[in-house]
């Protein structure tokens, strides 16, 4: 008997229209856990069936080493979803981080089996997930930031740090996770005995990174519990000053959550202060860049006049041109 393949079968246009027509609110959240997961395909299909019933949308990666999830849940199904998490041994008591700002973050459910839940691409002998850094609360992290000898490291890609980061943080100049760990180890060379403070969006990248640094000889490695997302909630709840300034970049349709009103970055087209990321309106380009409101209007949400001209063509003509190897459809 042929195995049923569980995946979305509707077009992007239909799914977006359905999302826009919803009469209820959604809760965007994220969670992760490093834990051994067996029978990956069975686990994947079980989650897909159960979460589809709850009308959950999102992007979930599972691997033998654990789970990494970003998703949105209808508000009326939130308690059912939390109960569902408790029904799976590998997900019981998992820390679920709720987004600061709501929005149309996802429009379909995607659950994929991966080799890693964070694509660092390092050998297994370079880390030990049983030995990771000390998890620090927002208050403890703020306290340790006062020590001028502490080294604060942003464990994200440069384009994420560009719109928001902790003050005085070391910001690696990398664009992919695979380049990050070797670069961080190189930047910290000679500081193996100093206190290291790691942070990332939700905590997952710091887990393996802290283990990697410890295995590399660093003796005092700490990480922000729950990442910037949880930190932002906790400082408000506890009345603490935010040492993170600007926006927190997120990997969904919202692209960011504002933490403070500071604008740290600049429009990539005119150089004026701006911190709104977007994907180029030319789908054949789709480059991620920062654009101010004025340039957004001037270039119709595109990164260049070439992309603007192409995006203004009828869809059918765009499709024909994309298939022509002699035509340049993007200047990015």
The neighbouring-strand residues paired with 223 are: 135, 198
Active site positions, annotated: 200
Nearest alpha-carbon partner for 226 in 104, 83, 119, 94 = 94
Q: What gap in Å lies between CA 26 and CA 131, rounded to an integer? A: 36
Do the Cβ atoms of 30 and 70 come closer than 8 Å? Answer: yes
Provide CB contacts within 8 A for 126, sequence distance 6+. Answer: 212, 215, 216
What is the distance between the terminal CA atoms of the chain, rounded to a whole angstrom? 48
3-state secondary structure of 5: coil
Q: What gap in Å lies between CA 28 and CA 202, rounded to an integer? A: 13
**Phi, psi of 303, deg, nearest 5:** -85, -10
């Amino acid at each position: 008997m042929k195995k049923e393949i569980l995946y979305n079968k509707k077009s992007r246009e239909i799914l977006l229209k359905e999302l826009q027509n919803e009469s209820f609110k959604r809760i965007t959240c994220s969670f992760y856990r490093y834990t051994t997961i067996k029978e990956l395909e069975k686990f994947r299909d079980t989650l897909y069936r159960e979460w589809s019933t709850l009308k959950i949308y999102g992007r979930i990666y599972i691997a033998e080493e654990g789970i990494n999830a970003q998703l949105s849940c209808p508000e009326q199904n939130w308690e059912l979803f939390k109960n569902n998490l408790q029904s799976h041994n590998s997900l019981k008591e998992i820390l679920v981080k709720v987004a600061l700002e709501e929005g149309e973050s996802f429009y379909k459910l995607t659950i994929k089996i991966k080799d890693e839940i964070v694509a660092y691409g390092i050998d297994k002998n370079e880390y030990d997930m049983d030995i990771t850094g000390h998890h620090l609360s927002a208050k403890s992290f703020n306290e340790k930031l006062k020590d001028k000898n502490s080294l604060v490291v942003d464990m994200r890609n440069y384009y994420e740090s560009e719109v928001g980061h902790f003050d005085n943080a070391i910001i690696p100049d990398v664009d992919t996770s695979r380049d990050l760990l070797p670069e961080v180890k190189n930047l910290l060379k000679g500081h193996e005995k100093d206190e290291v403070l790691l942070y990332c969006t939700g905590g997952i990248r710091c887990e393996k990174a802290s283990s990697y640094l410890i295995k590399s000889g660093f003796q005092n490695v700490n990480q922000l519990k729950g990442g910037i997302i949880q930190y932002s909630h906790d400082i408000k709840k506890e009345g603490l000053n935010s040492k993170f300034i600007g926006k927190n970049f997120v990997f969904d349709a919202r692209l960011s959550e504002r933490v403070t009103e500071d604008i740290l970055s600049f429009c990539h087209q005119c150089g004026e202060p701006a911190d709104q990321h977007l994907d180029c309106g030319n789908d054949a380009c789709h480059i991620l860049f920062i654009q101010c409101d004025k340039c957004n209007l001037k270039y119709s949400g595109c990164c260049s006049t070439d992309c603007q001209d192409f995006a203004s063509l009828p869809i059918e003509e765009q499709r024909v041109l994309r298939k022509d190897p002699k035509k340049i459809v993007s200047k990015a």
